[in-house]
Structure 1
Amino acid sequence: MKTERGDEVIVVGSGVIGLTTAVVLAESGRRVRVWTREAAERTTSAVAGALWWPYRIEPEALARDWALQSLSVYEELAARPEESGVRTVEGVMGESRLDEATWVAARLPGLRTATAEEYAGTGMWARLPLLDMPVHLRWLRERFLRAGGVFEVRPVTDLAEAAAPVVVNCTGLGARELVPDPAVRPVRGQLVIVENPGVTTWLVSTDADAGTTTYLFPQPDRLILGGTTDEDDWSLTPDPAAATEIVERCAALRPEIAGARVLGHRVGLRPVRGAVRLEREPLPDGRVLVHNYGHGGAGVTVAWGCAREAAALASR
């Protein structure tokens, strides 16, 4: 049996990975504190388009398993969309084929090839979880607090500051300096938020020649347009030229978007790494450090699977 002290865990980071991990740990009976330099609604996760689908994440086999575990949770949460921020929404994944999705076909009833009327190219029609991230992050935090967790806004300049028997590092891009791990780097994503002119389905379209991915995600009170994938770009300032291009690309796919009123601009830095780091590191002083970072733009997609594995590593 663990001692009371041995049950203590500090989770560093409050994006979707950190909060989900904290929820799993707290609901397993651990005494959990989340340390974060900023409130969850100001993290990169709050800016995410947040469609469930593995995006630029390795290792592929593990990522698919984590994603399927997360899919099960989101399907349950979609029964309470106003509370959880999770809905299941239909749309087209452009430049994708059914034979590339055999790993998930059994879990997605209705997955099929998109018709020519639905998409002018090769694509898959799917019904997937789509998350309203400000709502979902708030829901995660409230669920964590109900489980007895403690949330502390405090800067962390060294993981050694977290004096608990188990520390879980969910710092995303911050791991580049805190670990330090130079393999973690930013891939900048810019979004334009507009009034929704009546779009009810999501769309992701990739132009390999131009090197662009264009997407539009309908939320209850707005339409999210994207995006950019700017490698090693640390700027959090919206680029007006990029914003104009995003709107033009989205309007080329859905003409009704052309006149939509712009509500705002968002920029986030995806914490990309060659492969997710999810592992247990015993420290010389007997404490345990569990790493759970490097999820790139797929943090939402794999959050619950990774959280469960991190919690298991923390309990060994």
Structure 2
Amino acid sequence: MRLELDHGADFPRDRKVLIHNYGHGGAGITLSWGCADRVRELSAAALRETLKKQPATAKAVVVGAGVVGLTTAAELKRWAPMISVVVQAENVSPAGVPLPQRTTSWIAGGQFEPSGIWRQYYPYRMNDLHDLIRRSHHRILQLKRQGRQRQYGIVDRKNYILATEDGRGFELGIPRDIVPTPRQGLLPFRPLANVLGKEYSTWLINPTILLPKLVADLRAANVRFEQRSVRSRAELIGIDADIIVNCTGLGAGEMLNDAEVKPIRGQLVVLNNPSQLKYMFSGGCGDEAAYMFARQNDIVIGGTYHDCDNVEALPEESYRAVLARMQRIFSGDISECVTGRPTLPPQRCNLTRKVPTAGYAGSS
């Protein structure tokens, strides 16, 4: 992940600053508020020390309209309501709002856990990751104290994993005072009633509720959305603003020639949730993802986690294979998860496909 002030020699530091905030490795929803708070700190220091401006006379442009870009813009306005903020993105409708089907975080699962990204920090930079987690946690607690958490799609959820899994995203990525040590015992699902598992207390953060709410908040705060494609560093630093925040995610790789940015495919199957299930399961299959998040109005099932070089449509049967694996688990067959044997062929990057609710085997 890159979260820093850009000190490039080609940048006109005397009249604008560039801040990078991208590469969140599948944990953008978890880290977004924490990273946004760090951007707020960098922006305040830049205005004070470099630009010699007050927020009321400054203009900030946030490039990118995923969860990271939207929370960054929102936190800048919350910090300094008089600052001028513009969100620029390639996929903005004529009405001036982001197009959700074009941005990965609009279709993400939404659990509060630094899935995947913790590996970039382990073992020597875990304090840095924990700092960002604490900042996100602090903002969510603020929303909860205000009684506004549900407006942002945030609800308490229990997450279950198999006892054979190590839960490293929870165990290493999150301090114990935020997500406590898990309870251990038999899983509370009828077909798995004799299977040992672990129970973590965390949050569901539903992006289908969160992101529209952030957009509404920004529009109410007079933040403009502008359609713009930024393809190169020269175009990025050419933006007319005092503060430019690069939240372009995957696009930053090509734009900045950043070899550390690599696309990852994550398959999702989205089902209805007529029984209003209220738990999450992320407990298996070794290095193969197998998770189920019961959200307010739907159920998200995943999936796969593969490096990939291009984006192409996957056949319907590959999504049904994801669903079938979760059916087997919730029917009581965890053999493939215990052994860690992958059951899906490697895939070659974040797509979603709706399938009928028939055949969902989960129970509570």
TM class by smaller structure: 0.7 to 0.9
2:90 to 21, 32, 37: 37
Give the match's secondary structure for 1:115.
strand
Structure 1 gaps of 5+ residues are 257-266, 270-316
The 10-residue stretch of structure 1 (172-181 or 234-243) with the greater mean CA deviation from structure 2: 234-243
Give the Cα–Cα distance (whole angstroms) in 2 for the partners of residues 80 and 144 of structure 1: 16
C-alpha spacing 1:122/1:6, structure 2 compared with 1 (3 Å): farther
Structure with greater strand share of residues:
1
Give the Cα–Cα distance (whole angstroms) in 2 for the partners of residues 55 and 106 of structure 1: 18
C-alpha spacing 1:121/1:56, structure 2 compared with 1 (3 Å): farther
User: How far 1:6 sits from its partner (Å)?
Assistant: 5.6
Give the Cα–Cα distance (whole angstroms) in 1 for the partners of residues 56 and 151 of structure 2: 34
CA RMSD, 1 decimal:
2.8
* Residue of structure 1 in register with 2:128 after alignment: 62
User: How far 1:122 sits from its partner (Å)?
Assistant: 6.2
Paired residues of 1:10 and 1:166 also in contact (CA < 8 A): yes
Give the Cα–Cα distance (whole angstroms) in 2 for the partners of residues 105 and 227 of structure 1: 27
The answer to which structure, 1 or 2, has the higher relative contact order (CA under 8 A, 6+ apart) is 1
* Residue of structure 2 in register with 1:48 after alignment: 108
Q: Deviations over 1:116-140 (max 9, x none)?
A: 2346766431221112212100111
Paired residues of 1:205 and 1:215 also in contact (CA < 8 A): yes
User: How far 1:169 sits from its partner (Å)?
Assistant: 0.4
Larger-gyration structure (1/2): 2
Give the alignment of 1:35-184 within 5 angstroms: 35-38=88-91, 39=98, 41-42=100-101, 43-57=103-117, 58-59=120-121, 60-77=126-143, 79-94=147-162, 95-96=165-166, 100=171, 104-108=175-179, 111-118=181-188, 123-157=197-231, 158-184=235-261
Give the TM-score normalised by the residue count of structure 1: 0.72
Q: Deviations over 1:238-296 (max 9, x none)?
A: 4323212211121122239xxxxxxxxxx627xxxxxxxxxxxxxxxxxxxxxxxxxxx
1:17 to 42, 50, 68: 68
User: How far 1:191 sits from its partner (Å)?
Assistant: 0.4
Give the Cα–Cα distance (whole angstroms) in 1 for the partners of residues 297 and 173 of structure 2: 34
C-alpha spacing 1:187/1:122, structure 2 compared with 1 (3 Å): farther
Give the Cα–Cα distance (whole angstroms) in 2 for the partners of residues 88 and 126 of structure 1: 11
Give the match's secondary structure for 2:157.
strand
1:202 to 280, 288, 294: 280
2:261 corresponds to which letter in structure 1? V
The 10-residue stretch of structure 1 (223-232 or 196-205) with the greater mean CA deviation from structure 2: 196-205
Give the match's secondary structure for 2:289.
strand
1:152 corresponds to which letter in structure 2? E
Give the Cα–Cα distance (whole angstroms) in 1 for the partners of residues 329 and 200 of structure 2: 18
How many residue pairs match? The answer is 256
C-alpha spacing 1:200/1:104, structure 2 compared with 1 (3 Å): same
Structure 2 gaps of 5+ residues are 1-51, 92-97, 333-348, 352-364
* Residue of structure 2 in register with 1:313 after alignment: none
Give the Cα–Cα distance (whole angstroms) in 1 for the partners of residues 129 and 310 of structure 2: 26
Paired residues of 1:96 and 1:124 also in contact (CA < 8 A): no
Give the match's secondary structure for 2:263.
strand
